[in-house]
Structure 1
């Protein structure tokens, strides 16, 4: 049997903080190559990525797994009660950065795939796409792997992303879509002056306050069939002005929007620019806007793929999983342009936290779920 717990520990001990590879993909390439997978490093822009395939290239039945080995920084190491990259096990729980998000998920699907092709070689292909840039800008990670696949004629018929998806209990949630995400930065430029003579200045602060109030007070929508209502959060406002007798010349702010399938990044960008222009005209100042769209909303409608995963989850956990689109973004937002995609993984309560950890039993359980998915898909 291929031990996913040992593989998880080996991966945690690789300090692969984005964008450092840290030895994690080197380890996986060796593990998969020895099991008969054809492996290719698809590095781009200083980011390490790994493509691995067992079976015939371009086969009509090609099941894919996607995941990442990069992790967020440990933060204040003194706050940890264990070594962040030690993979220490205490009372059936493994600790370490990436234990939940998501080296255990990668270990589980890699171990399941290796055992499956060894014991019951399928009529088809299994493809693993593993990136080192999910926690970063995600410009040269899964997108680079998908570009490589397009160029080389590689194809997944369906894909499962192994991100932690369960909020409370193992098996309670599958992600069938994600909200879109975008951030807008605003700079209001006025005229600096003495606070005792405000008529001689153009104060950017009331302008920014008006703009932020307009944006935050606006109801974007009431939700759709598979999505909650879209949200806009004001995440910063700043002048950098320590003096109380000076009206500053500039004020900056930013908002983050998580949006459902009733919007696109372009339509929301148009709205933000229109609101900024109206406030600028009202006050007679300059408002500059910069927008970054991190991902569009998407949905894999409930059907064959979500049913396949849900049956395996229920068989191994006894829980009927909820089909959800909640949470942040993931690399599924890129995979959805290639093939149908859903996400299923561990309980994610400790991801990105100090003393991030995973129950050892859950790693075995996740491997069994992934193995059952493969058996059922190729049955």
Structure 2
């Protein structure tokens, strides 16, 4: 495949406005690229209307399977007038290709799709199989990855590469988890001249707010790579008008967890606090979560991690760093699958994700394809060598 064709595929992906929805249009376009290869197994896995995940499997089913994953949704472009380059055009200026998702993460998605297409195009014999896991809804909760995991598509992988925009000079082996939660306070409305006839939902919500900060601050353990547990209340709303006692109030908070504090530890503490406050007269608080994800522990010396570093060093002629990530990714869901495998994050991108005039370096995008093309067969060799060593020692 020519470089021009590879760039065109990325441009077409960017031109599909899959802003927190309509990922099916992306899935259909990618599926069309595999249509002339009957040996590719193409499956659409629905999450909701216009929101289909895509799974494409190629290669030797008798060997190990490596997962290559990318999400098809992008965040909103915001005020498009603020962009110098139209957010859904895929304009190329010099070595920069602009557009919403150019970095996060349609360039990574395109790179792994093209990697698979080139294996098919050249008839490259593979010692194992490759499974594309293209997901919906990563930006708002990883629920596409959850759907695929629950359906068994990530079961028994030998390894997983998520093409998030780490930059090819980084291999991410560990990542924070996330807990988004909401607390709703239900009170009783009344005229503010007669507060004794009502129950102030804001007052009761603030009891939780004032208690949860010190509670979370007790978690003082830190991870040498990820740092400490983070807790932020980011949204608060309540009341209807200035002269009425509020009958409703709510807050939403975001937490970034670390392996030292599994999510269940946090759930137990939040739920115990809610139960304690609800014992007070007039307090009615309700807690809910929105697609929480566990932290990814990882091992910097894992064979897949070191192999990815070695290949990126060679292809890109730089010293690739083995690092952690403060953001959650689909790997947290896929690691719930059956089997024990390493998940890494490595893909092309820039520091403009979610920003105006988001872009990716065309050079790095094309290098990513070469990195993946070398990584896949080298990984299969690595697994075969490990299996042979294990057999010899039995």
Q: If the length of structure 2 is used for normalisation, what is the TM-score? A: 0.84
CA-CA distance at 1:100 after TM superposition: 1.0
1:291 & 1:337 partners in 2: Cα distance? 18
Is 1:49 equivalent to 2:44 in the alignment?
no
Is 1:25 equivalent to 2:22 in the alignment?
no
Is 1:237 equivalent to 2:236 in the alignment?
yes
Partner SS, residue 12 of structure 2: helix
**Aligned residues, how many?**
370
Residues 166-189 of structure 1 show CA distances to partners (whole Å, capped at 9, x for unaligned) of 4xxx41x22213222122222223
Aligned match of 1:279: 277
CA contact (8 A) 1:74 1:354 kept: yes
CA contact (8 A) 1:180 1:329 kept: yes
Is 1:296 equivalent to 2:300 in the alignment?
no
CA contact (8 A) 1:42 1:148 kept: no
Aligned match of 1:115: 118
Partner SS, residue 309 of structure 1: helix
CA contact (8 A) 1:189 1:204 kept: yes
Q: If the length of structure 1 is used for normalisation, what is the TM-score? A: 0.87
Aligned match of 1:6: 8
2:94 & 2:297 partners in 1: Cα distance? 39
Aligned match of 2:384: none
Deviates more, 1:307-316 or 1:198-207: 198-207
Partner SS, residue 23 of structure 1: helix
Cα pair distance change 1:156/1:285, threshold 3 Å: closer
CA contact (8 A) 2:24 2:53 kept: no
**Alignment match of 1:176 (pick from 165, 173, 178):** 173
Cα pair distance change 1:110/1:2, threshold 3 Å: farther
Partner SS, residue 42 of structure 1: strand
Aligned match of 2:385: none
2:350 & 2:306 partners in 1: Cα distance? 22
Aligned match of 2:357: 355
Q: How does 1:311-350 map to 2 (within 5 A)?
A: 311-338=310-337, 339-350=341-352
Q: How does 1:1-379 map to 2 (within 5 A)?
A: 1-3=1-3, 4-21=6-23, 23-35=25-37, 37-44=39-46, 45-46=48-49, 47-57=51-61, 59-116=62-119, 118=122, 120-139=124-143, 141-149=144-152, 155-166=156-167, 170-171=168-169, 173-195=170-192, 198=195, 201-218=198-215, 219=217, 220-243=219-242, 245-282=243-280, 284-302=282-300, 303-338=302-337, 339-379=341-381
CA contact (8 A) 1:101 1:164 kept: yes
Cα pair distance change 1:143/1:273, threshold 3 Å: closer
CA-CA distance at 1:312 after TM superposition: 1.4
CA-CA distance at 1:41 after TM superposition: 2.3
CA contact (8 A) 1:39 1:50 kept: no
CA-CA distance at 1:201 after TM superposition: 4.7
Deviates more, 1:337-346 or 1:200-209: 200-209
CA contact (8 A) 1:29 1:39 kept: no
Aligned match of 2:390: none
CA contact (8 A) 2:24 2:52 kept: no
Deviates more, 1:182-191 or 1:337-346: 182-191
Residues 278-334 of structure 1 show CA distances to partners (whole Å, capped at 9, x for unaligned) of 334456422222233421222232311111111112222343333333222211112
Cα pair distance change 1:194/1:136, threshold 3 Å: closer
CA contact (8 A) 2:238 2:248 kept: yes
